[in-house]
């Protein structure tokens, strides 16, 4: 599989960054989380004057064999319909992108549909949806590696277009199911605490979903290594997002992490390459049952809690103005040395 070169930001500049933040015209620590974000971004970019350039959002789309087990309220065809809808500009993610100046890219990782030429959907189809992991691996190891490479390539393209801050989203009916299984395996949290309503299941639907996933886990006889769990239970779009996240970290880009599914992806990415989380800003706590527990397990604090559960990367883009404010604080706020204001802390 592709090898990534991800290193922790050099700590030598940390004290200079903290000194600048602490000497802006405010009481020390008065801008709270903005100061934490500013420190993180300045460390990523190794400068006391960080910048956000040409933000991109990438949606990876794919179908899931597990959807055949009735684990989602939404019908399977919604995957291709919404994937085709995004480039036309009328989806939830679209107005956030327009509002905050994001370039949106929509990538077909494995949708069970043929998109017409000129549709605006980028073709990186590995297969027409995963196999049903109730009965065997969702994808082969070779397909998993291909997804990693395609995800990395998508980010390289954005980087070469001048992007240094990127959010990831997904479109795939049924994808909270592989996410719940990943969460349980990779955190040790019992499956029942990881399974939620997805796109809107009632309590009986959630119980049925749990039963299906429990049976799938009981049928699994692999070695439980990260790569085996990724390929056996993963979604094509999820593995592609992992490749994208790892490439972004290698290129010292800021990664905006969206909801339950993308948090599971950064979790798996961090098991493969622990340093990846140094580049990740967790945008929001979604409404899916397991998301709060997952964020707590990773010991990270999301910026927002708005009850979002749309996916598509919307929460990551919605949180972007907070990130922008942190960078503006560093670059536009006077220091005590530059003004006649007496230090008041």
Please report the pLDDT score of residue 199 as a whole number.
Answer: 75
C-alpha–C-alpha distance, residues 330 and 345, integer Å: 19
Q: Characterize the bridge pairing of strands 121-123 and 165-171.
A: unpaired
Give every strand in the sheet of 254-257, ordered side by side.
Answer: 121-123, 103-110, 56-62, 165-171, 254-257, 280-282
Integer-rounded Cα Rg, in Å, for the chain is: 20
pLDDT 10s digits, 8-57: 999 999 999 999 999 999 999 999 999 999 999 999 999 999 999 999 99
Please report the pLDDT score of residue 231 as a whole number.
Answer: 98
Q: Which CA distances in Å does 298 have to 2, 201, 288?
A: 25, 27, 16
Per-residue pLDDT band for 343 (boundaries 50, 70, 90) equals confident
What are the structural domains, with CATH classification, of the chain?
Answer: 11-51+328-338 (1.10.1610.10), 56-322 (3.40.50.10210)
Please report the pLDDT score of residue 80 as a whole number.
Answer: 97
The chain-wide mean pLDDT, for the chain, equals 96
Catalytic residue among 77, 296, 312, 332: 312
Q: Per-residue pLDDT averaged across 86-97, rounded? A: 94
pLDDT 10s digits, 294-331: 999 999 999 999 988 888 999 999 999 999 999 999 99
Please report the pLDDT score of residue 289 as a whole number.
Answer: 85
Question: From its phi and psi, is residue 153 left (phi > 0), alpha (psi between -120 and 50) or beta?
Answer: alpha
Distance of CA 80 to the CA centre of its chain: 20
Cβ atoms < 10 Å from Cβ of 137: 18
Q: What's the full length of the chain, in residues? A: 345
Per-residue pLDDT band for 339 (boundaries 50, 70, 90) equals confident
Q: Characterize the bridge pairing of strands 103-110 and 280-282.
A: unpaired
Which residue blocks in 195-312 are alpha helix, DSSP H? 203-219, 226-233, 236-250, 260-272, 291-298
**Whose structure tokens read 């000194």?**
19
Per-residue pLDDT band for 292 (boundaries 50, 70, 90) equals very high
Angle between helices 320-332 and 14-22 (to 10 degrees): 80
Q: Which CA distances in Å does 72 have to 24, 187, 201?
A: 50, 23, 7
The reply to whether 312 belongs to the active site is yes
Kindly give, in sequence order, each residue whose CB lies less than 8 Å from that of residue 296, ignoring residues fewer than 6 positions away: none
Q: Per-residue pLDDT averaged across 100-117, rounded? A: 97
Please report the pLDDT score of residue 43 as a whole number.
Answer: 98
Q: Per-residue pLDDT averaged across 246-272, rounded? A: 98
Residue 105 pLDDT > 90: yes
Residue 197 pLDDT > 90: no
Q: What's this model's pTM, rounded to 2 decimal places?
A: 0.96
């Amino acid at each position: 599989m592709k090898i990534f070169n991800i290193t922790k930001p050099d700590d030598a500049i940390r004290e200079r960054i903290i000194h600048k933040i602490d000497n802006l015209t405010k009481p020390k620590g008065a801008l709270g989380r903005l100061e934490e974000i500013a420190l993180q971004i300045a460390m990523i970019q190794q400068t006391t004057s960080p910048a956000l350039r040409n933000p991109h959002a990438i949606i990876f789309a794919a179908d899931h064999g597990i959807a055949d087990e009735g684990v989602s309220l939404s019908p399977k065809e919604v995957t291709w319909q919404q994937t085709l809808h995004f480039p036309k500009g009328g989806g939830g993610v679209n107005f956030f992108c327009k509002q905050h100046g994001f370039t949106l890219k929509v990538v077909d990782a494995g949708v069970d549909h043929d998109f017409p030429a000129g549709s605006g959907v980028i073709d990186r189809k590995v297969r027409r949806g995963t196999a049903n992991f109730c009965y065997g691996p969702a994808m082969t190891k070779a397909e998993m590696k291909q997804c990693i490479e395609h995800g990395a390539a998508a980010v390289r393209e954005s980087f070469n277009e001048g992007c240094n801050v990127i959010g990831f989203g997904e479109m795939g009916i049924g994808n909270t199911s592989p996410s719940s299984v990943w969460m349980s395996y990779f955190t040790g949290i019992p499956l029942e605490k990881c399974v939620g309503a997805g796109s809107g299941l009632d309590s009986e639907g959630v119980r049925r979903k749990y039963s299906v996933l429990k049976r799938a886990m009981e049928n699994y006889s692999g070695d439980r290594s990260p790569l085996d769990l990724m390929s056996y239970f993963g979604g094509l779009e999820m593995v592609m997002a992992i490749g994208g996240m790892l490439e972004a970290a290698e290129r010292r880009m800021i990664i905006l992490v969206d909801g339950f599914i993308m948090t599971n992806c950064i979790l798996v990415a961090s098991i493969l390459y622990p340093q990846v989380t140094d580049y990740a800003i967790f945008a929001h706590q979604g409404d899916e049952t397991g998301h709060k527990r997952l964020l707590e397990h990773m010991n990270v604090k999301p910026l927002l809690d708005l009850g979002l559960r749309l996916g598509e990367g919307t929460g990551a883009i919605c949180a972007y103005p907070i990130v922008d404010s942190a960078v503006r604080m560093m670059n536009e706020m006077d220091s005590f040395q530059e003004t006649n204001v007496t230090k008041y802390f």
